[in-house]
Amino acid sequence: MKRKLIIPLLLSALCLQSYAQVGKANRDLLQKADESLQFAARQYKLMAKHLPDTVLPKTTDAKTGKLATSNSRWWCSGFYPGVNWYLFEYTKDPAFKAEALKRQALVEKEKNNKGTHDLGFMMFCPFGNAYRITKDPAYKDVLLTSAASLSTRFNPTVGCIKSWDHGTWKFPVIIDNMMNLELLTWASKNGGGKKYAEIAKIHANTTMKNHFRPDYSSYHVIDYDPATGAVLQKKTHQGLADSSAWSRGQAWGLYGYTMMYRETKNKQYLAQAKHIADYILNNPHMPADMVPYWDYDAPNIPNAPRDASAAAVAASALLELSKYTDKATGNRYWGAAEKMLTSLCSPAYLAKEGENNDFILMHSTGSLPHNSEVDVPLTYADYYFVEALLRYKQWAK
């Protein structure tokens, strides 16, 4: 009995020791982080003023240059209210809380949506932040209902949550799905029972087994036989080729396994996150400014489009991952995140006030193979950028 108590305490002590060893503040970046967050606040006040009442912002229409919006069923619907919660947390300005409440009210009905794997994005980004900041039990109920809906997509024979119901796939699972597991781990710790955490762990284990190549680059899509769990195909949908490394997919995996280590303290997840981080940071096609090309194997590097969203997701993940490693490795990850954020805070990627359809970041790529959302702002790039800046301010010493 005593041994069971001692082990978690030792793990906690090790994490705290790592935390103390990394996170040395770059004063210039701290100033830029504040300036960028203040800019983000001004920009999103303009967004609130210009955005029609019944929709959510998505991107810029590449053909018209106008704001492209979505309804609540689009997978990105939770990011805008989520950013507003972050900005409320930073500024304490009640206007951001009001906007977050207004927009997440549009999304709340999706808690019952069993036709998407993206409920983590859609529900946890707004309602998770809402509950964390306000402790209103109504938001907890929304999240628990969302977790129940998401769990219906889990197939125990496959060991994964099904991603899509469209196309010719049998049981497609995409690397992005690692991001939706936090909703399930949270639910287990907040009254939902052990089953949700078990689903998250099984999905993470199956993904670790089948989604990654020996160099820890990932496939985008694994198609399974739902009856046997056998792997049928290893493909891509948004990357250059089945064998290429789609940059945002690498970032999703990095973030997902870092989160899973935080939630479980399973050292296999920590090792996986470190391997993915090293693949990203050692990649010969990573540009000097640390904002990845849309695919690490894009044929027209250095003229290939960038993906600021991949940098934002990776930076946020690397900051957290640096807390869980030894000093030298942690400093490396922290420093890489600083370089990414320094670039994203620069005029090369940060929009000018009143421009960019009121989004914060420029130069993201949604799906180049489909000529969709290429070199445009994306709502999730803004979300993870703001999150990373807040993490930096919180953890820098």
| Residues annotated in a binding site for substrate | 118, 176, 236, 248, 252, 367
Catalytic hit among 28, 165, 176, 225: 176
262 touches 316 (CB < 8 A): no
In angstroms, rounded to a whole number, what is the distance separating the alpha carbons of residues 173 and 230? 13
Contact indicator for 188, 248 with CB cutoff of 8 Å = no
Distance CA 16, CA 256 (A): 21
**Each residue of 100-115: b (16+ CB within 10 Å) or e?**
bbebbebbbebbebee
Q: Where are the alpha helices (DSSP H) in 115-167?
A: 119, 129-134, 137-151
C-alpha distance from residue 67 to each of 41, 373, 374 (Å)? 18, 12, 14
Tokens of 188: 């287990």
Q: Which amino acid, one-letter code, is at 94? A: P
Q: Three-state SS for 223?
A: strand
* Diameter of the chain measured on Cα atoms: 65
* CA 147 from centroid of its chain's CA atoms: 17
141 is catalytic: no
Helices of type H across 22-93: 27-50, 79-91
By the 10 Å C-beta count (0-12 exposed, 13-18 middle, 19+ buried), 127 is classed as buried
The rounded distance, in Å, linking the Cα atoms of 295 and 279 is 13
Alpha-helical segments (H) within 286-371: 308-321, 327-344
Q: Which of 28, 93, 118, 242 is the catalytic position?
A: 118
Q: Are 350 and 382 in contact (CB under 8 A)?
A: no
Question: In the block, which residue shows the tokens 């990932």?
Answer: 218
Separation of alpha carbons 298 and 266, rounded Å: 34
Give the Cα separation of 319 and 340 in Å (integer): 11
375 is catalytic: no
Which residues participate in the annotated binding site?
Answer: 118, 176, 236, 248, 252, 367
Q: Tell me which residues are annotated as active site.
A: 118, 176
